[in-house]
Amino acid sequence: MLSGDDDTGSDDWLDTLPQTEHGRFFRQTDWAGSRLGPTATWNPTLRLFTGFVLADSRPACMWWGPDRIAIYNETYKTLAAGLHPALMGATFEEGYPKLDVRSYFEQARTSGAGVDVLSGACLVLERNGFPEETFFSASVVPIGPVYRPEGFYNTASEVTSQKLVDRRTSMLNALASVPAQTVHAVTAHILATLRTNPKDIPLAMLYHISNDVVRLQGHIGLPAAHRLIVTECSLDNREGLLPDMRRAGHAALIIDCDDRFDAVDWQGWGSPAAKIAILPIMSGSLLVGYLVLGTNPYRPYDEGCQQFIRDVHRMVSSIVSSAIVSDNTKQRQDQLEADLAFSDLKLRHLINHASVGMCHVSLEGDMLWANDHYYALAGSTAEAHKVRMSMFNPYLDEDRHIVLKLWEELLAGVEPKTVECRLKRLYTSPSGDSTPAEIQILAFPYRDPATLEVKGVMACTTDISRLKWAQTFQARLAAEAREAKRQQEAFIDVVSHEMRNPLSAIVHCADSIVTAIEECRVQLSRIPEPVVGALDDNLQSARIIMQCADHQKRIIDDVLTLSKLDSMLLSIIPSAVKPTKLIGSIADIFEAELKSNHIHYSVNADDSLTKLGIDYLLLDPSRVTQIFINLLTNAIKFVKPSKKPFISIKFGARVSNPRAFFPENMFWANESKKNGDVTSNPEWGSGEEVYLAFSVQDSGIGLKEHEIHQIFERFKQANVRTHVKYGGSGLGLFISKELTEKQGGEVGVSSVFGEGSTFGFYVKTRRVERQPESLETMSNDNKSISGTHQLQVLLVEDNLINQQVLGKQLKRAGCVVEVANHGLEALNVLEQKTFDVVLMDLEMPVMNGLEAMRRIRKKEATGESWVDQSPDPCARRPTRLPVIAVTANVRQEQIDTAIAAGADRVMQKPFKAADLVYLIKSLLPSPASNGVPKPGPNDTPNGFT
């Protein structure tokens, strides 16, 4: 303890002071030049408190005397910062000229007690090499007598960190208090809050990003037209701070304050920021903006400042994200409300304007609600439906029970039901008739959504009066159409029967005459010349009759085919066919005629058949043959007058672009809209599609340009003289066009007048996935019987002329023929004799052919055997008696009926005897038919079915 009494007038007391660097500094201070004078003259109190100040571990300064001369310890140097060492021995006013604390000193003097100074004002101290914002708390204690102190003892502690935390926390709390959750309001709130703390936020810029477009929402500290102001541009632009924003990406980026920030109106201290923080604003994983902040220039960029930047970043991202979510939610809500309102509007509009009546009825039968159309359909008014259970009144008495039953079922909870009822209101049909109106009711119980208890009934009513009238009208039309079709078919049957029967007799007679004359000429070696001439004339006449009959048959076939096409009765039935064999068989038919007319011809298969590996194809051979015969017949007619008649037949295949097979200048017939391609039907299988193409080239008269465009039309020929000179009905090519289109193909012609024509067609086929068994493997399994055998034929025919003519020809062909006049007689004959085959006419008195065949097959099915009286073992009857139906009725359903009744084949009238014999041969085991000749070139088997 220092003693002022012993050391007065001496400097020895300085030796008792702390021996520290600051203590030496104190002793070396020129106190003699100060207002306190030499230390030796200091009074004991001053000496005492000087030692106390220098020994105090707290930052302390003693302000002595009326001038308040500063004496401070080493720890106070930090607070004095740039004022040290000049502050030692200086007055308070010299050290802190801008700091007015006289009131605190005065309060301590007058009160005689210490005063705490909690300063809210900052103190900018020059320390750590730059000006620094600081905050302190202090106490001022008077030294000496009460009310007359000699000095003041001042201790101080720095509270800068606490002050900064309080200031920054206050700003963050204000930032969190968002007034409204909209992006626009939040943006304004952020900028307004940042402006409240200019010392920590001397600069700020807030950007919004949408679809890679950056828009400035506001800024702090930037004068107008500053180069850092970028109001709107693409994110990949290089203006302002956009390159730094791209570099930041989704993470915060801290950059130095460079020359781009020149001329910035720095807020707070007015000095450039220490650092620039670029903070991305995220909403989930979506980048929605950037916040650019300048940091406090009078504070170091330490952990406290970094934490403040992180807190601002987190807070801004949070409130912006919440605002975006809120905006989106609000937009969705507004949209849903708008959609709901619009949906409600549409529903109301629909209900009020729909052609459907709607109503809601309570369990007690009161009409709760109904639209205008309901009352219009019921033929009543809303007023009339106010009475309980009045909804049953509009219905006819005969149908009211239907509605009552429906009501009871709905009250019982039965789910939606539909009924049709008649009303008392009348409906006037388009034909002018008045009938009770009819409605369709769709009704269902209305349930409580929570309990599912039935609370009422709802119903929709639809006027079906016109529909019911139309159904009745259409049913009547359909019945009339069926009757017309039946009459048409009956007419076709009659015409076919009445024309083919006499035509068949003509053919048989002419064929018999030709055969008889040829046999006569062979058997008689020497015939007188006049007789030979007469025979030749008769032979020529017979052949003319045959040609005329054949021509008439073609016309009949064309007319019947056309009738089938018009009546949609023509069927296309696919079967597995080898194209080479099909063409060979067709060529064989015309071989004799071609040779007899000295027409050279050739049949060539295109190499496409080999390249594509064509073997069996699915097609309708009868329809393809029909088309080909039409073309070949025309070619023969028109090539006969040529000097060098020639016909070339070519066929091939394509998997695509079938027109490429034909000449480029081919004219293709216009497609008919009514014909549908049937080759996609299930019976055609799923094999690869292959187009089979045919062409017939002739050296005939050719066609003129205008003739080409009309020859495929109905009843059209090249010109008016064609019919006179060459014959024909003008239907052949039209029918060919219709048949090709039904098989997915086309028919066309290429011609040069005077040089000839090329007619061609193609049809769509499909590959056969499994090769069918050959005819050889499907031959009859009966054991071979050696030796020759005359065919035993039972001819069942009621027409006497046909009996005589056909019987005679069959006998001439080596057959033994027995005749029965009707089906019952045929059954009796079969009980007595054995036959190899039965030729059965269908239209006969007593018992028709269909019934007779059914009885034959029924007896075979029961295992009963026919009496076998044949002395020849070679004539032993096979298990199934072959039956060939002979008929002039040629509709497909009639043919199918004959096959179903038991016929093995159907022979269409008229036909040649050779055709019939050849067909019989195909049905019998080979030994039984050794004596039957194959039909010659002139024998066209085109009546087989």
CA 465 to chain centre: 37
pLDDT of residue 782: 35
Number of helical (H) and strand (E) elements in the chain, helices listed first: 24, 31
Coil/strand/helix, residue 157: strand
For residue 567, is pLDDT > 90? no
Give the other-Cβ count within 10 Å of 258's Cβ.
Answer: 9
Give the other-Cβ count within 10 Å of 264's Cβ.
Answer: 18
Q: The domain 571-767: what is its CATH number?
A: 3.30.565.10
For residue 460, is pLDDT > 80? yes
Calculate mean pLDDT across residues 84-98.
Answer: 87
Identify the residue whose tokens are 């009078």: 298
| Cα end-to-end distance, the chain, whole Å | 150
For residue 198, is pLDDT > 90? yes
The domain defined by 167-329 folds into: Beta-Lactamase (3.30.450)
pLDDT of residue 870: 45
For residue 4, is pLDDT > 80? no
pLDDT of residue 594: 85
Taking a C-beta distance cutoff of 8 angstroms, is the pair 572, 615 a contact? no
Q: Which two tokens stand for residue 822?
A: 């009707």
pLDDT of residue 780: 39
Give tens-digit pLDDT for 149-181.
Answer: 999 999 888 888 889 999 999 999 999 888 777
pLDDT of residue 942: 43
The domain defined by 12-158 folds into: Beta-Lactamase (3.30.450)
pLDDT band at 291 (very low <50, low <70, confident <90, very high): very high
pLDDT band at 778 (very low <50, low <70, confident <90, very high): very low
pLDDT of residue 873: 44
Give the other-Cβ count within 10 Å of 498's Cβ.
Answer: 11
Give the other-Cβ count within 10 Å of 382's Cβ.
Answer: 12
Domain over 791-929 is classified CATH 3.40.50.2300: yes
28-37, 545-554, 758-767, 832-841: which range is least confident on average?
Answer: 545-554
Question: How many angstroms separate the CA atoms of 622 and 628, rounded?
Answer: 10
Q: What angle do CA 55, 59, 63 make, to 5 degrees?
A: 85
| Residue of 76 and 484 predicted with greater confidence | 76
For residue 304, is pLDDT > 70? yes
For residue 569, is pLDDT > 70? no
137-146, 508-517, 596-605: which range is least confident on average?
Answer: 508-517
Whether omega for the bond prior to residue 641 falls within 30 degrees of 0, making it cis, is no
Q: Which two tokens stand for residue 208?
A: 């919004």
For 520-570, give the secondary structure using H, E and C.
HHHHCCCCCHHHHHHHHHHHHHHHHHHHHHHHHHHHHHHHHHHHHHHCCCC
Question: How many angstroms separate the CA atoms of 638 and 718, rounded?
Answer: 11
Question: How many angstroms separate the CA atoms of 945 and 939, rounded?
Answer: 16
pLDDT of residue 189: 93
Calculate mean pLDDT across residues 561-574.
Answer: 65
Q: Which two tokens stand for residue 240?
A: 């302002």
Between 800-812 and 465-523, two packed helices, what is the crossing angle to 10 degrees? 50
pLDDT of residue 214: 92
Calculate mean pLDDT across residues 263-268.
Answer: 92
99-103, 137-141, 292-296, 913-917: which range is least confident on average?
Answer: 913-917
Taking a C-beta distance cutoff of 8 angstroms, is the pair 215, 231 a contact? yes
**Whole-number mean pLDDT of the chain?**
83
pLDDT band at 735 (very low <50, low <70, confident <90, very high): confident
pLDDT of residue 765: 94
pLDDT of residue 287: 92
pLDDT of residue 144: 87
Question: How many angstroms separate the CA atoms of 568 and 479, rounded?
Answer: 17
For residue 450, is pLDDT > 70? yes
pLDDT of residue 202: 95
For residue 883, is pLDDT > 90? yes
For residue 270, is pLDDT > 70? yes
pLDDT band at 562 (very low <50, low <70, confident <90, very high): low
Give the other-Cβ count within 10 Å of 14's Cβ.
Answer: 17
Of 735, 500, 537, nearest to 629 by C-alpha is 735
Of 702, 681, 687, 688, nearest to 751 by C-alpha is 702
Question: How many angstroms separate the CA atoms of 609 and 207, rounded?
Answer: 76
pLDDT of residue 937: 36
pLDDT of residue 146: 86
| Residue of 847 and 942 predicted with greater confidence | 847
117-131, 321-335, 729-743: which range is least confident on average?
Answer: 117-131
Q: Do domains 354-463 and 791-929 have the same CATH topology?
A: no
Of 616, 628, 881, 885, nearest to 759 by C-alpha is 628
pLDDT of residue 660: 92
Q: In what order do the strands lie in the sheet with 69-72?
A: 69-72, 60-64, 151-158, 136-143, 115-118
For residue 762, is pLDDT > 80? yes
Identify the sign of the CA torsion 550, 555, 560, 565: positive
Question: How many angstroms separate the CA atoms of 889 and 911, rounded?
Answer: 13
34-38, 322-326, 870-874, 884-888: which range is least confident on average?
Answer: 870-874
Give tens-digit pLDDT for 686-723.
Answer: 889 999 999 999 988 888 888 888 788 754 444 434 43
Give tens-digit pLDDT for 583-622.
Answer: 988 888 788 778 878 889 899 999 999 999 998 999 988 8
Report the CATH superfamily, name and number, of domain 354-463: PAS domain (3.30.450.20)
Q: Write the CA distances from 132 to 57, 159, 268, 298, 659, integer angstroms.
A: 24, 13, 13, 5, 97
Question: How many angstroms separate the CA atoms of 505 and 510, rounded?
Answer: 8
Which phi and psi (to 5°) does residue 54 adopt?
-70, -25
Domain-by-domain residue ranges, the chain? 12-158, 167-329, 354-463, 571-767, 791-929
For residue 727, is pLDDT > 60? no
Calculate mean pLDDT across residues 436-460.
Answer: 91
For residue 196, is pLDDT > 90? yes
Give the other-Cβ count within 10 Å of 814's Cβ.
Answer: 14
Taking a C-beta distance cutoff of 8 angstroms, is the pair 685, 766 a contact? yes
Radius of gyration of the chain (CA): 61
